[in-house]
Amino acid sequence: MKVEQRLAEIISERCINMKALAAKANINYQTLCRCIRGEQELKADEFLAVCKVAEINPSEFLAA
């Protein structure tokens, strides 16, 4: 499973508001949406920012 797919699952499972997540992670909302839809890959710094804000341990993605 791709990182973006797993991230989408976690956002859905935890009922995280994507607009708020994007704002707090300092990422453009449209960029985050494109990443979740698999149209664009998250850059490493964006990924880490999203994980920090959403309180997701990045190591959760190692087994994904």
For the whole model, what pTM was predicted?
A: 0.83
Domain segments of the chain: what residues?
A: 3-61
Has residue 2 got a pLDDT over 90? no
**12-61 pLDDT per residue, tens:** 999 999 999 999 999 999 999 999 998 998 899 999 999 999 999 998 88
Question: What's the sign of the alpha-carbon dihedral 49, 44, 1, 34?
Answer: positive
Burial 31-52 (b: 16+ CB within 10 A, else e): ebeebbeeeeebeeebbebbbe
Say which CATH architecture domain 3-61 belongs to.
Orthogonal Bundle (1.10)
| Rounded Cα gap, residues 44 and 15, in angstroms | 23
